Structure 1
Amino acid sequence: MKLTLRQIQLPGRVRLEFAEQGGRSGTPVIALHGVTDSWRSFEPVLPHLPSELRVMALTQRGHGDSDKPAGGYRSADFAADIAAFMDVMEIERAVLVGHSMGSVNAMRFAIDHPSRVAGLLLAGTMPWFGRPPELMAYHREQIVPLVDPVPDAVARDFQQSTLARPIAASILDRFVAESLKVPAHVWRAAFAGFIGDDFSPRLREIEVPTLIVWGRHDAFCSATDQEAMLGQIRTARLIEYADAGHAMHWEEPQRFALDLSRFVTSVAVGAAMA
């Protein structure tokens, strides 16, 4: 299936890079990567998705080859970009797939624009990333002091920390290279954004079908976090990857693609029956 890499100007906002595959008549799926990643975060998954899905993997502001403004890195800013992207692409409703920071932005979008979300797949998530003391310490000690150029070791150590099992060295190198495209001010602001935005009390407002995907060896998101998510989003169900870490879609891309396609099918069937 052909993958097209495009750039799009959001009126009055930023220029975003995105990868697209599938026909315009397919079910729209918008994929949102984690902090310092890009559309390439979903590159291992895309070849395994069916042609019936119109998948658009965004490179969010500040990341990859998208614009890198001085500010605008709160979850509400990212959510507003998604809304503008959907307007330009003439997409009324879509299934959103979010990994880590992308899951935060997807949840915020579902709260701010509930009529535009058909379903949510949240991977490597928790109600609020500002709660774990280990993550707060990492932010304070490793991210806040960053200056340009961001050291290769910082990007590599961060990406490796998301894995429970090794992946191909060439693929990891690709992800590290994408992280090194992110300037220090975006590392600082993006981390501060998703760690600082606590809208967890509003998760109860999410009423669309929601699939939570979690790797049992996730170094950031715990089993308790997943229980909390299920308690706050009444429409949610959980799939556990027993041998995977935070980046389960890198470790098991075929399984992730199958779970995603099954979820989208269930959402589409549910909408047709409604």
Structure 2
Amino acid sequence: MTTYLADSAETRHVDGPDGERFAYRRFGREGTRPLVMHMRLRGTIDHWDPALLDLLAAEREVIIFDNRGTNFSTGKPPVTVDELVQGSLAFISSLGLTDIDVLGWSMGGIVAQGVALAAAPGLVHRLVVAGSSAGGVPDLPAPPERVAQTTGKPDNGDDDFLYLFFPETEKARAAGLASLRRLDHRLKQSNAAVSADAFRGQLAALGSFKGYWDRQEELTLPVLVANGAHDVMIHAYATYAMSQRLPDAKIILYSDAGHGFLFQHPEDFAHEVNRFLSL
């Protein structure tokens, strides 16, 4: 049993321009500007914490989706960041959306920036970048070797996700486990996963990506950038560094959190996002 609206939202499909079929869910407060959300490396439509989704959907319409060739969506899996961006834009266009806000977490934060940079003028109103980077940030500390070792496993268990997303404190780990159990409702039914081919494509995309660091000044729309101060996957310095280049940004750092701060503090982060998007 679950009490989350996000867990009962139906999976829909829309045909894309190249014969692909995008899987998505659309729910929340109708008549508001939709928030299109972009997922992390190796994540799917079922890896969003329903606690966060429900809090966002209480004030706006939320749209989550699988990109081309990923999980429930068909088509050729992207192998470059540009292909990930073009897949998102194709999905947005296929739904006939012309006025949206965009949020991206981790790899999705890079894709979300690319969408804002490549979109037609007026399409993206505001941008939220969570636990991510501009790419190409000078002097960004590298992640520990354990990160690559953990993400490269064929399957990740609770201990892997706790290491990657949450600090090694009792309180943070408890919040992490609570989030993982919330994800169970969808995942145990769907067995949603990124295929080996799609995962290799995502790794290739990130490996060849030169970054948007030199294009930050082009992101003239309002941007909210947030992370946990103890992110082992993408060092929190990336968030601070973006504040030095973005023309109109607000920066949030959670001192007791890491890469999964948005699932550790869903109430506070949803409040910040909803307030930011309503301005």
Question: What TM-score do you get using the length of structure 2 for normalisation?
Answer: 0.81
Match of 1:36 among 24, 39, 42: 42
Aligned length: 259
Match of 1:78 in 2: 84
Question: What TM-score do you get using the length of structure 1 for normalisation?
Answer: 0.82
User: SS of the counterpart of 1:4?
Assistant: coil
Match of 2:131 in 1: 124
Once the two structures are superposed, residues 151-204 of structure 1 have per-residue CA deviations (whole angstroms, 9 ceiling, x without a partner) of: 334796256412222222523657987897222222222022124212321222
Match of 1:181 in 2: 193
1:112 aligned onto 2:114: no
For residue 196 of structure 1, what is the amino acid of its counterpart? S
Q: Is contact 2:127-2:221 (8 Å) kept?
A: yes
Shift of 1:256: 1.9
1:134 aligned onto 2:143: yes
For residue 194 of structure 1, what is the amino acid of its counterpart? L
Q: How does 1:250-265 map to 2 (within 5 A)?
A: 250-265=263-278
Match of 1:171 in 2: 182
For residue 134 of structure 1, what is the amino acid of its counterpart? P
Match of 1:66 in 2: 73
Identity of aligned residues (%): 22
> CA–CA distance in 2 between the matches of 1:227 and 1:171?
31
> CA–CA distance in 1 between the matches of 2:162 and 2:207?
18
> CA–CA distance in 2 between the matches of 1:36 and 1:198?
20
Distance change (3 Å), C-alpha of 1:52 and 1:101: same
> CA–CA distance in 2 between the matches of 1:133 and 1:49?
32
1:9 aligned onto 2:15: yes
> CA–CA distance in 1 between the matches of 2:104 and 2:278?
18
Q: Is contact 1:26-1:51 (8 Å) kept?
A: no
Q: Is contact 1:155-1:179 (8 Å) kept?
A: no
Distance change (3 Å), C-alpha of 1:213 and 1:64: same
Distance change (3 Å), C-alpha of 1:153 and 1:137: closer
Unaligned runs of 5+ in 1: 267-274
> CA–CA distance in 1 between the matches of 2:145 and 2:120?
30
For residue 162 of structure 1, what is the amino acid of its counterpart? F
